[in-house]
Amino acid sequence: MKKDIETREDVEVLVNSFYSKVQQDDLIGPIFNDVAKVDWAYHLPKMYDFFETIILGHKGFKGNPMETHFKLNREFPLKPKHFDQWKSLFFATIDEHFEGLNASEAKQKAASIADLMFYKINNQNAGINVLKHPRR
């Protein structure tokens, strides 16, 4: 029986394993490696904080993920297939290492954030369009 995600160390195992899959992935790996040229020594500790906040409820993450991905989307348009692959690698990583309530909630929360992120990326200009085309 696998354990649940319960400590900072568990979150680090999850994040290291997930981004190792991401870096090797043919579809989304190049977005991180070639488009954003991610500095992993800087990115990984930030992601430990982020997922520790999401999964364990410990405050620690400071950042603006939506803004980061809006900017990324301007350089490289993020499509449903990219988000689907992100989710599928994340779910596979969780299932490989963990099981339990936190593990299953982590999948739900990450999927909700991914879906919200995709929605916001594609509706950023909705307000502007309303102003451009006012109802008569």
Point out which residues bind ligand HEM (CB under 6 A). 28, 31-32, 36, 38, 43, 46, 50, 63-65, 68-69, 72, 78, 82-83, 86, 110, 113-114, 117
| Chain residue at closest Cβ approach to ligand HEM | 63
Q: How far apart are the first and last CA of the chain?
A: 63
- In the complex, minimum distance from the CB of residue 16 to ligand HEM, in angstroms, rounded to a whole number: 15
For residues 103 and 117, which CB has a smaller minimum distance to ligand HEM in the complex? 117
SS (HEC) of 70-88: HHHHHHCCCCHHHHHHHHH
Distance CA 48, CA 109 (A): 15
CA distances from 33 to 29, 52, 58, 118 (A): 6, 24, 29, 21
- In the complex, minimum distance from the CB of residue 84 to ligand HEM, in angstroms, rounded to a whole number: 9
- In the complex, minimum distance from the CB of residue 113 to ligand HEM, in angstroms, rounded to a whole number: 4
